[in-house]
Copies of this chain bind each other. A is one copy, B any other.
Amino acid sequence: MLSNKKKYIVNGNSGIKAQQIQFADQKQEFNKRPTKIGRRSLSRSISQSSTDSYSSAASYTDSSDDETSPRDKQQKNSKGNSDFCVKNIKQAEFGRREIEIAEQEMPALMALRKRAQGEKPLAGAKIVGCTHITAQTAVLMETLGALGAQCRWAACNIYSTLNEVAAALAESGFPVFAWKGESEDDFWWCIDRCVNVEGWQPNMILDDGGDLTHWIYKKYPNMFKKIKGIVEESVTGVHRLYQLSKAGKLCVPAMNVNDSVTKQKFDNLYCCRESILDGLKRTTDMMFGGKQVVVCGYGEVGKGCCAALKAMGSIVYVTEIDPICALQACMDGFRLVKLNEVIRQVDIVITCTGNKNVVTREHLDRMKNSCIVCNMGHSNTEIDVASLRTPELTWERVRSQVDHVIWPDGKRIVLLAEGRLLNLSCSTVPTFVLSITATTQALALIELYNAPEGRYKQDVYLLPKKMDEYVASLHLPTFDAHLTELTDEQAKYLGLNKNGPFKPNYYRY
């Protein structure tokens, strides 16, 4: 088994010994933030990368008149296979083209596939997955297949499935159970169809939000006897796993891929730097130059938003609770204020906090006419949207995802995506970012599947730093970027292995 794996963790000529990368860095205290989140919202990750783009989906040929539930339809792909349930298998061709386009921007997964031509590190793996179903997920699934795995898949969100992509996967023989606009009942039915199959039992779980894991715990706890590990991508799912672990109920090793460096920096800093502009433009066509903006929260997301808007000529204010992040905001050239100080004068309010009720009704009452309010942080709790559902205020839907909330005196507030995540609702996530996440998921699956007995216990692990570095290195060719190699003398001077890892665990990047 180990020999299978070697090929996937090789960096350059030198060959990284398997042992070097197979130790997860450390157990890790969970970041306790998002504790009270309602049932359904759990399945929407606050991670920006684990989603499709609704707006790009909007351009799809989705307006089929067919209102029959997919569950009630007889469906077969062109090879006669009917072990799937999608909206319309006839849309497969369109979905295939989207997958092919995505492949071009997912170089790392394609590189993994290439290496898989000889050995199959996932041979024998039976992976059940529950993620957003998009072209990028399809590239991941087909890569896992190329690496030897069998997969069954459901959607982690009732709205996010791209029906054409699901159709293309079904056409290619993947048992996919998902469509856009599932009911709550559909949702669990789909998951169950992935898990509860005669003659097939999963030995790996790939989850995004923890619903799949939850279902198996609840309905088929015995399945865990054969399961080698869980790979979980979302903050919410990771949180659930840490809770299970604390309660002593986690019965297999789990890999937290949400907190890997590449994911954090790319999903948050770099991706939001672009998506804040994109989301605002697509919804409002506004001009950024000269606008006054307040950004609540100066974590990675806030940093990205602030940098982008500053570069476009906006005047940006920042609010923070953490003095260290606050000092960073100062040094980066942003006035650090309390929201009340600037709420009357700003043209845009953006929340990036991970917190709740950051923008209250009182703030909303004091905003000036035409002020735009949106959320880049998490969930839909950062702005107290519920407080706007009062009789004296009029809501007017002016465009998709854009509401004018009108005060009795005629003042209008422009609320985007009803306070849900702007970048999920109103912009798209670049494939390149999704590529990083998907590659990390694939490597985590390989690692857990191939780890010798005893390496991982029934606990939650972070990816070994070495793997983070490997994911990064697989993406460098996209930029025609040329890494420098240490000489022997230099490696010795630095006390490093020439192939990494190159940094201590606490390094902040």
> Which residues of A does B touch, CB under 8 Å?
28-36, 53, 56, 59, 97, 101, 104-105, 259, 261-262, 264-266, 270-271, 273-274, 277-278, 281-282, 285-292, 300, 307-308, 310-315, 319-339, 341, 345, 354-358, 369-370, 398-400, 412, 427-433, 468-470, 472-473, 475-476, 478-487, 489-490, 493-496, 500, 502-509
Could you pull out 25 A-B pairs where Cβ atoms are within 8 angstroms?
A: A31-B504, A32-B496, A53-B285, A56-B285, A265-B328, A266-B331, A270-B331, A274-B287, A274-B288, A277-B277, A286-B430, A290-B330, A290-B331, A290-B479, A308-B312, A310-B333, A311-B311, A323-B470, A326-B476, A327-B472, A327-B476, A330-B476, A336-B476, A357-B490, A508-B509
Which of B277, B338, B431, B506 contacts A506 (CB under 8 A)?
B506
Chain B, Cβ-Cβ closest to A341: B482
Chain B, Cβ-Cβ closest to A269: B331
Chain B, Cβ-Cβ closest to A286: B430
Q: When the two chains form their complex, are residues A321 and B502 in contact, meaning their CB atoms are under 8 A apart?
A: yes
Instruction: Enumerate chain B residues within 8 angstroms of A427, measured Cβ to Cβ.
Output: 281
- This chain's copy number in the assembly: 4
CA distance A336 to B484 in the complex (A): 9
Given contacts A400-B59, A484-B321, A484-B339, contact A333 B289 (CB under 8 A): yes
Q: When the two chains form their complex, are residues B495 and A32 in contact, meaning their CB atoms are under 8 A apart?
A: yes
Instruction: Enumerate chain B residues within 8 angstroms of A487, measured Cβ to Cβ.
Output: 357
Instruction: Enumerate chain B residues within 8 angstroms of A412, measured Cβ to Cβ.
Output: 104
A4 to chain B, nearest CB (A): 24
Instruction: Enumerate chain B residues within 8 angstroms of A311, measured Cβ to Cβ.
Output: 307-308, 311-312
Instruction: Enumerate chain B residues within 8 angstroms of A274, measured Cβ to Cβ.
Output: 277, 281, 287-289, 312
Q: When the two chains form their complex, are residues B469 and A322 in contact, meaning their CB atoms are under 8 A apart?
A: yes
CA distance A489 to B312 in the complex (A): 36
A437 to chain B, nearest CB (A): 13
Q: When the two chains form their complex, are residues A333 and B314 in contact, meaning their CB atoms are under 8 A apart?
A: yes
Q: When the two chains form their complex, are residues B324 and A472 in contact, meaning their CB atoms are under 8 A apart?
A: yes
CA distance A258 to B503 in the complex (A): 16
- What are the 9 tightest A-B residue pairs by CB atom distance, in nearest-first order? A311-B311, A287-B430, A32-B495, A336-B481, A290-B330, A323-B473, A289-B331, A323-B472, A322-B502
Instruction: Enumerate chain B residues within 8 angstroms of A53, measured Cβ to Cβ.
Output: 285
Given contacts A476-B323, A500-B322, contact A285 B431 (CB under 8 A): yes
CA distance A29 to B325 in the complex (A): 25
CA distance A427 to B277 in the complex (A): 13
Q: Most chain-B Cβ atoms within 10 A of its Cβ — which of A266, A333, A432?
A: A333
